[in-house]
Structure 1
Amino acid sequence: MSAPAALPALPFPQETADALFRLTQGLEPAGLWWLSGYAAGLASRGAAASAPGAAPRAEAAEGARLTILYGSQTGNARRAAEALLAQVQAAGLPARLVRADAYATRELAGERLLYVVISTQGEGDPPDDAIGFVEFLQGRRAPKLPELRYAVLGLGDTSYADFCGIARRIDARLAELGAQRVAEPALADLDIDTVAAPWRESALAQAREHLKPAASPAAHVATVTPLRPAASWSHERPFPAEVLANQGLSGREFRGTGFRRYGVVDKDVRHLELSLEGSALAYEPGDALGIRHRNPEALVAPVLEAARLDGDARVELEGETLPLSEWLATRRELTRLSRPTLAALAERSGADELRRLLEPTSPDFAALLADHQLVDVLRRWPADWDAQALLAALRPQAQRLYSIASSRKRVGEEAHLTLDVVAYHAHGHPHLGAASGFLSALDEGAQVPVYIEPNERFRVPADGARDIIMIGPGTGVAPFRGFVQERAETGAGGRNWLFFGARHFNTGFLYQVEWQDALQRKELHRLDLAFSRDQERKVYVQDRLREQGRDLYDWLEGGAHLYVCGAIAMGKDVHAALLDIVARQRGGDADAATEYLGRLQAEGRYARDVY
């Protein structure tokens, strides 16, 4: 397919036509139909806005529309909310889609039909984009809602003890405020659609009962959070990216393709470079790369042995027939446990100890989930399994997300990753991470199925004159490598300050030479380091933050943007340190510090990517 040389009677400049061609090239029919509907909706809203005496559509539809509110950490809740919106729009009903941090909470009292789609982050926390909404809803300012009808779809992970905790608390709080459920809360595990699809059908039926059809086919396209154009490569259809480089970072200094031995390696951290050539995939620094991995043989073989099953046995399930080993390698979770899996094991093994651990009041259940892989519990509580029963007990394989460690403006059609390989010894046996074990073993030239997972809340400032403060210990530094590259390539005038931490300087200082070079070139302006095990007293990034508290607060007061990336526990420790710093600078007022950081989050100047 080639671009037309000219189009007759264009209603816009030729440059716009060329850009439109680039946008639509490679889109499948579904994507083109979606794009045409989206454009029609924009045109309709524009016409309505310019009509004499026309009221804004959002106000005209107040009380007679469905609001779909979503909070998403990794994109799953957003996709589920978009799928619901598409069904509602297809039915001709007035609706809007709103990300939680873009929702004006003053509008809640006027809502008549509200569907909430929200994920739970870690042990019962809201996703970052829903923190403000959840705090408002749980606070004293939340209004009474006797005229509101609502439904909640929760997305979670039964490998955590507080499964879908946020969704359950939102549902209970809305009921406490006087709102009426139109459906019981639906709580989805990793196999999202088995719960989400029937919930959407029920939610649509309820919407039909409570709403009148939109006045015109285009009137239902209004959204507060813009929909993303359909991509030819996606979560459902990943792109086969070629591995260009797979190099060790632990104990080495990194510069392009050259490394120097710099000590004894205590962790295996890898730098991967993947080609996106020919995919038309586009990302921004802060986005993540989704990976569809294959469980390594080192995970599959022990599970087969512990279950006493033949990996070559062919099993028909879900309309497919595959060898059992292939089911385990490509379709099932082998490293993350869940309550349903453990319940099936308890029933099959008859183990009273496991039954006690599964009781809701058990204090040891969370520790079991955190400390055991599938093979550990199969060994600990032996049972007679058949292939069908084992596969039915296991969760579908979840795709993994990795923060992209590069800027396209510097690396072109590539995406770089910083990968910490999970490998440890426990319960008398070696253990390996599923996706990290898969990726670390790939040779150059191998292919990896990938897709882009946008993270609109984790972006460099649009104003290049703004300073940025980046806090990223360990592999949490990955997106900030992309941030610094992006800011250098665009000539951003603001300063860049990085806080980095690891266990040891010799073996954990990731991208050491790159950071030193960036300091010399004034692409990085400040670098504070914390190596926790290199001295008797452990020092972490939050300690360095407190040491530099006065300067950090001055940067924030000057308009700096603040970013945190890394483990959930680290994110909580850093947040506590930030509260201490702000409170100290504001006369010891803890409430003022909480309000200050909340305002930064609402302004998009305090963003976190924690996992």
Structure 2
Amino acid sequence: MLERKLTILYGSQSGTAQDLAEQIWRESKMYHFRGNVLPMDEYDVSELISERFVVCVCSTYGQGEEPDNMKRFWKFLLRKSLPTDSLRQVHFGVLGLGDSRYPKFNYVAKKLHKRLVQLGGTSLLPVGLCDDQHDLGYGAVFLPWISQLWEELGRIVPLPAGLHKLNESPREYRWKVDILPATGDERLQPTIGSWPTRYDLYADLQMPNGFQTMVRENRRTTAPDHFQDVRLITFERNPSVGWSPGDVLYVRPRNSPDNLDRLFELFQEHGINLQRDTVIEVKAIDSEMPVPTILRKPLPLGVIAEQFWDLTAIPRARAFAILAKCCDNELEHEKLMEFSSIEGQEELFSYANRPRRTIVEVLQDFPHATRALSLEAMFELFQPIKPRAFSIASAVASNTLQILVAVIEYKTKLSVPRRGLCSHWLRRLTPGDVIGAWVRKSTFELPADKTIPLVMIGPGTGLAPFRGILQERELSETPTAGPLVLFFGCRSATADFHCEEDLKRMEQNGMLKLFCAFSRDQPDKVYVQHLIRKEGMLLKRLLIELGGWVLVSGSSKNMPEAVKEALIEAIGGDAGYIEEMVKSNRYQEETWA
């Protein structure tokens, strides 16, 4: 009889793939499977040949790149010396997380699935291709995919006689949480009663290319009366950290004081005796699910709520299942169970996703469930704060590290004001503040030959990576001989022309050909795609005759497709040529929602 062992591996850049992998692990206990859930690079890949059942969950980053914590795993699988039957006894499933706005949608999951088959593995089910653009998010694919996974595993390795599927996972909660009378960590003493705290929960976490950096300047680049606040934030350069043009800075934001106040007011209103200075200790229940390094010490709950729990996140279906388990009110329990079911996903979307309802607001809507919450349940309900990425807008030679940040504010369909967690945290930073950060390679791949023309298209804060590229060329001892063209767009020349002085200086120096579309400075709106259509002669010469590259950066909503259509028209309608540019990496996009 086959052993009931299921190994679950994940490659996760922002933490979402890890969340889904852990959910699969929890559900596996209902079917009496044992086995670890690990980042791919923490797994001994040489053991893969002896596995029977493996599930891989992986996201796709940028231009079809694998996440940082699966690079070694993937490199090993690509070895040409591996026999084509080396995984002949392995049954596997691959679940991918991607975004269909990108040309290489779920590229990592697709190539991992293909490689495992090439090495002799047997696929349990078709590769799952979760799409962040779906109205129901990743759950639209994940929920039916995982249901099919259990069906297929049940067919291959049925439960032994006398053993039945459990109605719920015995590992519903990952960890045990104790309340302590005091903390022994002297570094935490100054934080008690001082909020927001200067204590950094992640200070001891060793990130690749990680460093501490001080804020030197936090300057608004838009006019004071402009509706959009955009910041050029300057950090001191850490001498030990370098980067290349277009590389990305990752930061991990904190919740605002207002959001913290709302959480602890909620606790008080519902009779939950927890304060900011309540010291807790998180302990592992199962060796297969260890406690994260940053939580392996006594901590005030206020630090965790400020720096670990995302109080602004939209809860997923599992959160409602957790609340249902806590709830003794029939009406609340019925609605919570509906939201957590596959059949109730449309209702969940209307309740949570469409109005972008936060987890704290959900708790307010279900008071009976909230009153019964344990600390263990809270660590399941509150998703960890995910790191955010910003294109570096400066060159190493400038001795400063700069990012361009649009501060997010909007109203939901219910007219409730919302603020971006990270952008508002960054706006609150003042000179002298120290934050942790790390650098990652850009999704843009630049030509090694600097004489190759670059056509850069970056409306709004999409300018950021191109400013870094241009600044690097400007400060280089051997400036490029190849043409540099920038199509920039904003609303008004007097309101939101970011880095205007820099761009005009480069244009006057002859190193840059600049085209600016100011959409509101005339009766008819003008966008970058309109200017692109007008420059057909120039673009034909740069892209077709000289083999130039196109880089597009900015909002993912309508701009990328409009730009591509304009370029096709500008070069004479040859859509095939642009598609060939995409395939050969001469046409690249870096966009965001």
With the length of structure 1 as denominator, give the TM-score of the two structures: 0.62
Residues 325-362 of structure 1, C-alpha deviations (whole Å, 9 max, x = no match): 22111111122223123443465472656655555464
Select between 234-243 and 269-278 the one with higher mean Cα deviation.
Answer: 234-243
* 1:269 paired to 2:257: no
Give the whole-Å Cα distance in 1 for the aligned partners of 2:319 and 2:133: 9
Cα distance, 1:134–1:552 mapped onto 2, change above 3 Å: farther
Aligned counterpart in structure 2 of residue 390 of structure 1, from 338, 361, 378: 378
Structure 2 equivalent of residue 328 of structure 1: 305
Alignment of 1:290-329 (within 5 A): 290-307=250-267, 308=269, 309=272, 310-312=274-276, 313-318=278-283, 319-329=296-306
Report the CA distance between 1:520 and its aligned residue.
0.9
Report the CA distance between 1:536 and its aligned residue.
5.3
Give the whole-Å Cα distance in 2 for the aligned partners of 1:606 and 1:524: 20
Give the letter for the 2:529 counterpart. Answer: Q
Give the letter for the 2:508 counterpart. Answer: Q
Cα distance, 1:534–1:472 mapped onto 2, change above 3 Å: same
CA contact (8 A) 2:65 2:108 kept: no
Structure 2 equivalent of residue 607 of structure 1: 588
Cα distance, 1:472–1:146 mapped onto 2, change above 3 Å: same
CA contact (8 A) 2:393 2:464 kept: yes
Structure 1 equivalent of residue 551 of structure 2: 563
CA contact (8 A) 1:500 1:529 kept: yes
* 1:522 paired to 2:522: no
Report the CA distance between 1:479 and its aligned residue.
0.5
Report the CA distance between 1:541 and its aligned residue.
2.9
Cα distance, 1:272–1:551 mapped onto 2, change above 3 Å: same
Aligned counterpart in structure 1 of residue 389 of structure 2, from 395, 401, 405: 401
Q: Among all aligned residue pairs of Structure 1 and Structure 2, give the percentage whose two residues are the same amino acid.
A: 23
Give the whole-Å Cα distance in 1 for the aligned partners of 2:402 and 2:589: 20
Give the whole-Å Cα distance in 1 for the aligned partners of 2:580 and 2:498: 32
Cα distance, 1:159–1:446 mapped onto 2, change above 3 Å: farther
Report the CA distance between 1:390 and its aligned residue.
2.4
Tell me the SS of whatever aligns to 2:78.
strand
CA contact (8 A) 1:246 1:443 kept: yes
Tell me the SS of whatever aligns to 1:376.
helix
* 1:248 paired to 2:220: yes
Aligned counterpart in structure 2 of residue 458 of structure 1, from 414, 428, 444: 444
Cα distance, 1:428–1:316 mapped onto 2, change above 3 Å: farther
Structure 2 equivalent of residue 471 of structure 1: 457
Alignment of 1:48-87 (within 5 A): 72-73=60-61, 77-84=66-73
Report the CA distance between 1:603 and its aligned residue.
2.1
CA contact (8 A) 2:210 2:436 kept: yes
CA contact (8 A) 1:85 1:96 kept: yes
Give the letter for the 2:459 counterpart. Answer: P
The number of aligned residues is 450
Give the whole-Å Cα distance in 1 for the aligned partners of 2:212 and 2:112: 43
Give the letter for the 2:475 counterpart. Answer: E
Give the letter for the 2:282 counterpart. Answer: L
Aligned counterpart in structure 1 of residue 78 of structure 2, from 96, 106, 130: 96
Cα distance, 1:363–1:169 mapped onto 2, change above 3 Å: closer
Give the whole-Å Cα distance in 1 for the aligned partners of 2:502 and 2:448: 24
Give the letter for the 1:316 counterpart. Answer: E
CA contact (8 A) 1:562 1:605 kept: yes
Tell me the SS of whatever aligns to 1:569.
coil
Report the CA distance between 1:133 and its aligned residue.
9.4
Give the whole-Å Cα distance in 2 for the aligned partners of 1:606 and 1:169: 35
Larger helix fraction of residues: 1
Alignment of 1:478-517 (within 5 A): 478-490=464-476, 491-517=479-505
Cα distance, 1:69–1:394 mapped onto 2, change above 3 Å: closer
Aligned-residue CA RMSD (Å):
4.7
Structure 1 equivalent of residue 436 of structure 2: 449
Give the whole-Å Cα distance in 2 for the aligned partners of 1:112 and 1:421: 51
CA contact (8 A) 1:132 1:598 kept: no
Runs of 5+ unmatched residues, structure 2: 1-40, 42-55, 148-155, 158-173, 175-203, 284-295
Give the whole-Å Cα distance in 2 for the aligned partners of 1:168 and 1:466: 47
Give the whole-Å Cα distance in 2 for the aligned partners of 1:267 and 1:433: 13
Give the whole-Å Cα distance in 2 for the aligned partners of 1:569 and 1:547: 23
Give the whole-Å Cα distance in 1 for the aligned partners of 2:394 and 2:311: 30
Report the CA distance between 1:407 and its aligned residue.
1.0
Give the letter for the 1:472 counterpart. Answer: G
Residues 20-74 of structure 1, C-alpha deviations (whole Å, 9 max, x = no match): xxxxxxxxxxxxxx9xxxxxxxxxxxxxxxxxxxxxxxxxxxxxxxxx9987316
CA contact (8 A) 1:241 1:448 kept: yes
Give the whole-Å Cα distance in 2 for the aligned partners of 1:159 and 1:382: 30
Tell me the SS of whatever aligns to 2:309.
coil
Report the CA distance between 1:608 and its aligned residue.
1.5
Give the letter for the 2:364 counterpart. Answer: R
Give the letter for the 2:252 counterpart. Answer: R
Alignment of 1:196-215 (within 5 A): none
Give the whole-Å Cα distance in 1 for the aligned partners of 2:134 and 2:258: 21
Structure 2 equivalent of residue 596 of structure 1: 577
Aligned counterpart in structure 1 of residue 136 of structure 2, from 161, 166, 171: 161
Tell me the SS of whatever aligns to 2:435.
strand
Cα distance, 1:137–1:84 mapped onto 2, change above 3 Å: closer
Cα distance, 1:381–1:97 mapped onto 2, change above 3 Å: farther
Give the whole-Å Cα distance in 1 for the aligned partners of 2:57 and 2:348: 32
Tell me the SS of whatever aligns to 2:431.
coil
Give the whole-Å Cα distance in 2 for the aligned partners of 1:600 and 1:135: 21
Report the CA distance between 1:584 and its aligned residue.
7.4
Alignment of 1:29-44 (within 5 A): none
CA contact (8 A) 1:269 1:420 kept: yes
CA contact (8 A) 2:94 2:109 kept: no
Structure 2 equivalent of residue 369 of structure 1: 353
Give the whole-Å Cα distance in 2 for the aligned partners of 1:291 and 1:155: 26
* 1:541 paired to 2:528: yes
Report the CA distance between 1:444 and its aligned residue.
0.9
Residues 108-134 of structure 1, C-alpha deviations (whole Å, 9 max, x = no match): xx7975999885334x55674865996
Give the whole-Å Cα distance in 2 for the aligned partners of 1:351 and 1:543: 54
CA contact (8 A) 1:73 1:128 kept: no
Cα distance, 1:167–1:359 mapped onto 2, change above 3 Å: closer
Residues 527-561 of structure 1, C-alpha deviations (whole Å, 9 max, x = no match): 23142x44555443334334445543442213111
CA contact (8 A) 1:161 1:366 kept: yes
CA contact (8 A) 1:119 1:126 kept: no
* 1:344 paired to 2:329: no
Give the whole-Å Cα distance in 2 for the aligned partners of 1:479 and 1:419: 12
Cα distance, 1:530–1:377 mapped onto 2, change above 3 Å: farther
Report the CA distance between 1:436 and its aligned residue.
1.6
Aligned counterpart in structure 1 of residue 243 of structure 2, from 283, 286, 290: 283
Runs of 5+ unmatched residues, structure 1: 1-33, 35-67, 87-93, 99-109, 173-180, 183-193, 195-231, 252-262
CA contact (8 A) 1:500 1:541 kept: yes
CA contact (8 A) 1:293 1:449 kept: no
Residues 401-422 of structure 1, C-alpha deviations (whole Å, 9 max, x = no match): 111001112x12x311111122
Report the CA distance between 1:516 and its aligned residue.
1.6
Give the whole-Å Cα distance in 2 for the aligned partners of 1:302 and 1:550: 58
Structure 1 equivalent of residue 15 of structure 2: none
Aligned counterpart in structure 2 of residue 431 of structure 1, from 414, 418, 438: 418
Report the CA distance between 1:453 and its aligned residue.
1.1
Give the letter for the 1:337 counterpart. Answer: I
